[in-house]
Structures are given as structure tokens and as C-alpha cells.
Amino acid sequence: MLQPPDNADLQAWHRYFAKQANNRAWELSVDTRGVAEDREMLDAAHAAAWHWQVVGTELHHMRATMLLAEVHAALGDGATAMGYAREMHAYFLGKTDTPDWEVAFAHLVYAHAAHAAGDLAVHRSAYRQAATALEAIANEEDRAIVLQSFRQLAAP
């Protein structure tokens, strides 16, 4: 559990709330949700993105973009999800130092967004890439985390 800052440093508070909102949105993205939880997930994802815009690095911004893509895809907003997904997919796959678990997430979120947008060819291709990347994750704990989101993804 995250511990709140014990001082009045505004930057520390932004980082704290960015992490809290990020974790809550991802948690909700793999749970069974009702209307209230859908709204909370969307609000949490946007809150995380906003806080990371204030204090985060480019990597934080792109991870927040990935989360926004996933949340919008989960809610069936395909056009918005694809806008975010294209940006983060290009970023993470364009880097040479992207960790294996993040490559898998980039593919699966891209596939989820494509499915929500009705782009079946992209969905099928990205789904296969996500499945391959998931199997390539070296750390079992990392693989288990990515697998939770992969299970939310419709198969082609």
C-alpha cells in the first residue's frame, strides 16, 4: 500500500495521487464492474494522467496514455481508445529498452483498442503479438500481472 507523503511538498503529493489513481484504474480494469465502477475507472485513469502531466517523465506520460487506451477500450469507446493506443504503441515499440512486460502490455492494449474500434485485422494481428510477448516475459510475477489484463481481451 502506498504511503502518503508526510510533508507539504506538492510534487510528492502529485506523485502519490498519480500512483493511487493509476493503481485503482488498473485494478478496476480487470474486475467485474457496474456503471459506478466504470465511471470510477475512467475518472481514476484521467486523474492519473493529469497528475503525471504535472510531475512525470515522458515514460510516465506514455504509461498514463496506455492506461487511458485500456480504459476507453474497456468502456467500448473505440475511437478514443485507438487514438491513445496508437501513440503509446509507437512509443513503447520504438524504444530499445522497453521491458518485456511492457511490450506485452503495449500489444494487448493496442489489440483491445482495435477490438473496441471494430478494426478486426489490427485486433487479430495485435492479439497474436500480445500472446507471443506474454509468453516471452521472463519474470513469473510480471507475466501474471499482464495475464490479468490479457484475459479481458476478446480473442479474434
Any domain includes 54: yes
Closest CA to 90 of 52, 126, 142, 134: 126
pTM for the whole structure: 0.94
Instruction: Compute the residue count for the chain.
Output: 156
pLDDT digits (tens, 9 = 90+) for 135-144: 999 999 999 9
Identity of the amino acid at 138: A
Cα separation, 120 vs 111, whole angstroms: 9
Residue with cell string 484504474: 25
Q: How far is CA 68 from the centre of its chain?
A: 6
> Which tops the pLDDT comparison, 4 or 59?
59
- Number of folded domains in the chain? 1
Any domain includes 1: no
Any domain includes 124: yes
Any domain includes 136: yes
pLDDT digits (tens, 9 = 90+) for 28-58: 999 999 999 999 999 999 999 999 999 999 9
Any domain includes 101: yes
Any domain includes 4: no
Q: Predicted confidence band at 3 (pLDDT cuts at 50, 70, 90)? A: confident
Any domain includes 155: no
Question: Cell digits for 79?
Answer: 475511437
CATH assignment at residue 21: 1.25.40
Any domain includes 61: yes
Instruction: Look up the domain containing 43 and give its range.
Output: 10-150
Closest CA to 126 of 140, 139, 107: 107
